Amino acid sequence: MSVSKPLYIGTSKSIAARMLGGEMMIMSMRDSTFFTLNEVASAIWRAADGSTPLSDIVSGTICREFNVEFETAYRDAGELVQRLAEHGIVVLSDHPITAGPESSNAQ
Amino acid sequence: MSCCTTASVAVTHVPEAPGVAIRIGGITIALHTDNAEFRALLQRRYGHFVVPPGPADFDFQLELSQPFAGARLNDDVRVWSNGGKWFFQRGDFYAEWDQQARHGRMMHLPNPYSVDAVLRIVHTLVLAQRGGFLLHAASAIRNGQAFLFSGISGAGKTTMARLAPPDATVLTDEISYISHERDSYIAHGTPFAGELATLGANEHAPIAAVYLLEKGSANRIDPVPTSDAIRALLRNTLFFAHDPAMVEQLFNAGCRFVERVPVRRLSFVPDALVWELIG
């Protein structure tokens, strides 16, 4: 995944989420699908405010908190948010996301 | 396909026929019909869950008739809300329920299974609003505490109920009733039976643990990661109304429950010794 183009992530309004036992539990309110995010994925989720590019989330949060290299972390983070977007858990955009009917910047 | 083209019953307040009041989990639902034979059938079906006539939490007027043209008995349950009312339908029944007015009407084939289904739906909706739920689980009270044994069909719910020792009171072998009261969770007996085909005891007790059933070569209890516990509970929860608000309520109820109540995996061989691990 290229870092030359900023990628912004907003969390969907159509989900319910709760942190339990160090993991983020997420349920889609559209199809009742249940997801569990591990510690790293939970950190990305919490930082997904729609206005911070993924590259900044990875460099500012993931690399610092989990002591991982940027390239690897950014690639993994990109794959994660793509998968979450496929399930409607997050919305992705190449420009900052303002809260709309499908996304919520509130955590 | 709209149900209203083939079946429609208006929710209006009409003088009510005599009723049979059924109290489960502290909620009384009175079922009114002029048909004395069907009332007697309901009395027998719900046994010690029938309470004397009096003010009920909810009243339903029953209309014993074919709700839909043509055979649709294999239709799945559909539950939806519109304009402040709930609507339930399956091939053998169609019902409308105004929860605020505490009144509903139901058109159904003259069998108790249709009534059973509507009762379960109403209870799931009421419980969801109060942080509780119905769970596919056997449950029993031992030493003043309730223990739940959850699993899909064939996991061993009825087996655990059958193996219960004399000092355990079986609440159900199929569907456990879980209410959230103040800071604790209470299991109530239900008339919703599985293969055991007997009513549960009409008793209740605080829930001490939920065991996820798994047949094994030895009797043992193992911890379950929180995410697996929630996943299993949500999978085994009876849930009919797939609207976003209800899904969110269910999710939050499941999360709060696992924060309060231990969820473990119970591997067991089908013998009574497994109860030595319980209570």
Ramachandran assignment for B26, one of left (phi > 0), alpha (psi -120 to 50 degrees), beta (any other): left
C-beta atoms of A20 and B244 within 8 A: no
C-beta atoms of A32 and B252 within 8 A: no
Distance between CA atoms of residues B227 and A17, nearest Å: 12
C-beta atoms of B230 and A23 within 8 A: no
Sheet with strand A23-28: strands edge to edge = A15-20, A23-28, A34-37
Distance between CA atoms of residues B93 and B89, nearest Å: 6
Q: Residue B257: pLDDT above 90?
A: yes
Residues contacting A60, CB < 8 A, separation 6+: A47, A52
**Shortest alpha-carbon distance between residue B253 and chain A (Å):** 11
Residues contacting A51, CB < 8 A, separation 6+: A8, A96, A97, A105
Class in CATH terms, B133-277? alpha beta
Q: What is the pLDDT of residue A68?
A: 92
Q: Residue A82: pLDDT above 90?
A: yes
Q: Residue A106: pLDDT above 50?
A: no
Is A101 at the interface with chain B, CB within 8 A? Answer: no
Residues 35-54 of A with CB under 8 A from B: 36
Mean pLDDT, all residues of chain B: 90
Is B258 at the interface with chain A, CB within 8 A? Answer: yes
Q: What is the pLDDT of residue B69?
A: 67
For A16-53, the pLDDT digits (tens) are: 999 888 789 998 887 778 889 988 999 999 999 999 99
Q: What is the pLDDT of residue A51?
A: 94
For B97-107, the pLDDT digits (tens) are: 999 999 999 99
Give the ipTM: 0.73
Nearest to B21 by CA among B37, B7, B42, B4: B42
Distance between CA atoms of residues B218 and B274, nearest Å: 9
Q: Which site among A26, A34, A35 would you substitute to test the B interface, given the most B Cβ atoms closer than 10 Å to its Cβ? A: A34
Judge contact between B81 and B128, C-beta under 8 A: no
Amino acid at residue number B118: V
Confidence bin at B38 (pLDDT 50/70/90): very high
Confidence bin at B240 (pLDDT 50/70/90): confident
Is A23 at the interface with chain B, CB within 8 A? Answer: yes
Confidence bin at B237 (pLDDT 50/70/90): very high
Confidence bin at A99 (pLDDT 50/70/90): low
Q: Which residue of B has its CA nearest to A23?
A: B227
Judge contact between B227 and A25, C-beta under 8 A: yes
Say which range, B113-122, B241-250, B264-273, has the weakest mean pLDDT: B241-250
Distance between CA atoms of residues B100 and B84, nearest Å: 8
Domains, chain A, ordered by start:
8-100 (3.90.930.60)
Residues 57-76 of A with CB under 8 A from B: none
- Between residues B224 and B69, the one the model is more confident about: B224
C-beta atoms of B251 and A27 within 8 A: yes
Distance from the Cα of residue B271 to its chain's centroid: 27
Residues contacting A22, CB < 8 A, separation 6+: A39, A42
Residues of chain B with CATH 3.40.50: 133-277
Judge contact between B240 and B220, C-beta under 8 A: no
Range with top average pLDDT, A1-10, A33-42, B164-173, B231-240: B164-173
What is the rounded average pLDDT of the residues B6-32? 77
- Between residues B261 and B271, the one the model is more confident about: B261
Q: In A, which residues are within 8 Å of B245 by CB distance?
A: 29
Distance between CA atoms of residues B257 and B231, nearest Å: 12
C-beta atoms of A21 and B225 within 8 A: yes
Distance between CA atoms of residues B230 and B252, nearest Å: 10
Q: In B, which residues are within 8 Å of A14 by CB distance?
A: 244
Confidence bin at B74 (pLDDT 50/70/90): low
Distance between CA atoms of residues B11 and B50, nearest Å: 24
Is B84 at the interface with chain A, CB within 8 A? Answer: no
C-beta atoms of B227 and A18 within 8 A: no
Between the alpha carbon of residue B56 and those of residues A58, B19, B32, B115, B148, the distances in Å are 58, 10, 11, 16, 29
Q: Residue B1: pLDDT above 50?
A: no
Is A19 at the interface with chain B, CB within 8 A? Answer: no
Beta-bridged to residue B222, according to DSSP, are B265
Name the residue facing A29 among B225, B227, B247 (closest C-beta): B247
**Shortest alpha-carbon distance between residue A39 and chain B (Å):** 13
Give the DSSP per-residue string, A22-61.
Answer: TEEEEEETTT--EEEE-HHHHHHHHH-EEEEEHHHHIIII
Q: What is the pLDDT of residue B182?
A: 87
Residue B234 phi, psi dihedral angles, 5° rounding: -65, -35
End-to-end CA distance of chain B: 50
